[in-house]
Amino acid sequence: MALAAQGSVVPAYRLLEQAMTAGDGLAAGTLAEWRMAGHLVRRDIGLARDLFGRAAELGLREALPMHVALLASGAGGKGRDWAMARELLAKSASSDPQAARQAALLDGMTLTEAGDPAGLPRLEPLNERPFVARAPGFLAAEECRYLTELAQPYLQPSVVVDPVSQRFITDPVRLARSAGFPFVLENPVLHALNRRIAALTQTRYEQGEPLQVLSYRAGEQYKLHSDVLPGPVNQRVLTVLVTLTDDFTGGETEFPDLGIRWRGQVGEALVFANVDERGHPAPTARHAGKPVVAGTKTILSKWIRQAPLDISGPPGRPL
């Protein structure tokens, strides 16, 4: 580690490799993280997946969920191994309550062999252009409870994209807390839910930004805004929201130009398009999460891009 800090990345990497070969799980886990981050060495998610697996085999328990997550999603182009992800999860269920809960939730879903939903609730249209529709019963009550609880330790003040710098900033337009689940944190339950969202929206799983859970306490809100990104980018064509809790007042999602005010039952999804048929931003899709008056509103939010997300990482690393 000290060698890496001084810029001697290659010898540090080789030393870690040697340590891994000698049976050091922490060394394998460190190499996996380097491959994921792509800062010190080139990002290689497929290699990271194998290294997390090796680290777990060598006794580094923290590496197992990452290995399972990457097997489940196939992020990085190595191909998915859903069956192996389920098998490893089932194996760790006896000693790990998190894994046991995930396995039970998956057992409660009706899935194909590939982890896709075998059936879906019907979409009930609310508006034609831009397309807005709701799907009651999209998530089961225990799935909503799971997401709400899972998010608690990860909740951070929400950010927006600054139109000038294109960086994430906190802004009074969005007073709430949110938790994002990038693909290393995307356990098999989250992955199955992401595939369900892809199926509902007839998009590919790879088009989805990481799933987010948003939490608004009394007085918090997401002021009138559009979900599209500034500039010529891989645009956010669709948004999916799902109601996760109902013990709050206020907090409806309002589309002022469409005359829609939505407050779903627990598990109900709202799907809407942010662009028109030509893929251009649809101004009338603007919407607001109205201030919560009492209690805490918790929702799932997922932005879906026009094409698969680029997860290749920073370019130009030699090793």
Ligand X SMILES: O=C(O)CCC(=O)C(=O)O
Binding interface with ligand X (CB under 6 A): 214, 222, 227, 239, 241, 253, 287, 289, 299, 301
Q: Which does 66 bind (CB under 5 to 8 A by kind): ligand X, Fe ion, none?
A: none
Number of residues that bind Fe ion (CB under 5 A): 1
Does position 44 interact with Fe ion (CB under 5 A)? The reply is: no
Structural contact between residues 255 and 286, judged by C-beta atoms closer than 8 angstroms: yes
Which one, 92 or 215, has the nearer CB to Fe ion? 215
- The reply to whether omega before 130 is within 30° of 0 (cis) is yes
Which one, 49 or 236, has the nearer CB to Fe ion? 236
- Strand 211-216 and strand 221-225: the pairing is unpaired
Distance from C-alpha of 71 to C-alpha of 115, rounded to nearest angstrom: 12
Give min distance, CB of 147 to ligand X, in A.
14
Which one, 39 or 223, has the nearer CB to Fe ion? 223
Contacts to Fe ion from residues 211-230, by CB under 5 A: 227
Distance from C-alpha of 56 to C-alpha of 20, rounded to nearest angstrom: 12
Distance from C-alpha of 260 to C-alpha of 257, rounded to nearest angstrom: 8
Which one, 220 or 227, has the nearer CB to Fe ion? 227
Residue ranges in 202-246 assigned as alpha helix (H)? none
Which one, 14 or 223, has the nearer CB to ligand X? 223
Q: Which does 214 bind (CB under 5 to 8 A by kind): ligand X, Fe ion, none?
A: ligand X
In the block, tokens 């998190």 appear at 98
Which one, 105 or 214, has the nearer CB to Fe ion? 214
Q: Which does 253 bind (CB under 5 to 8 A by kind): Fe ion, ligand X, none?
A: ligand X
Structural contact between residues 299 and 252, judged by C-beta atoms closer than 8 angstroms: no
Q: Which does 301 bind (CB under 5 to 8 A by kind): ligand X, Fe ion, none?
A: ligand X
x/- map, 132-171, Fe ion, by CB under 5 A: ----------------------------------------
Residue 45 backbone dihedrals phi, psi, to 5 degrees = -70, -35
Give min distance, CB of 43 to ligand X, in A.
28
Q: Which residue's CB comes closest to Fe ion? A: 227
Contacts of 58 (CB under 8 A, 6+ apart): 20, 23, 24, 25, 28
Give min distance, CB of 75 to ligand X, in A.
23
Contacts of 157 (CB under 8 A, 6+ apart): 170, 176, 177
Give min distance, CB of 182 to Fe ion, in A.
19
Give min distance, CB of 45 to Fe ion, in A.
29
Distance from C-alpha of 302 to C-alpha of 209, rounded to nearest angstrom: 6
Residue 174 backbone dihedrals phi, psi, to 5 degrees = -130, 85
Which one, 120 or 229, has the nearer CB to ligand X? 229
Give min distance, CB of 301 to ligand X, in A.
3
In the chain, the N- to C-terminal Cα span, in Å, equals 16
Distance from C-alpha of 68 to C-alpha of 78, rounded to nearest angstrom: 13
By CB under 5 A, name the binding residues for Fe ion.
227
